[in-house]
Amino acid sequence: MKKNKKKDEFIDDGHTIVNMDVDGMPHRRDSSKRKAQYDISKEEKRHLILAGYKAYLPMLICGIIGMALAILVIVLWLHQF
């Protein structure tokens, strides 16, 4: 004989279990505070961007050289004589 088990139906009543409103999320930040905190001119902004590019340039060059060497090794290895 099989037992018929009753399964309770889940009814969503809209009750919030956990508050998902976290401080620091992008929708909670005040944009006027951010602009006032980092008040820089266009020229300073341009210099900051260029300094960032200069800082990452050696890593970019090493990455490109490494990829080129890997491709060269693969081509020489798979080259049939």
**Averaged in consecutive runs of 10 residues, what is the pLDDT profile of the chain (81 residues)?**
70 76 70 68 94 96 97 88 54
The half-sphere exposure of 42 on its side-chain side, counting CA atoms within 13 A, is 0
State the pTM of this model. 0.48
SS3 16: coil
pLDDT of residue 31: 63
Hey, how many other C-beta atoms are within 10 angstroms of the C-beta on 57?
10
SS3 79: coil
DSSP 24-53: T-GGGS-HHHHHHHT---HHHHHHHHHHHH
Q: Given the structure tokens 């279990």, which residue do they identify?
A: 17
pLDDT of residue 73: 93
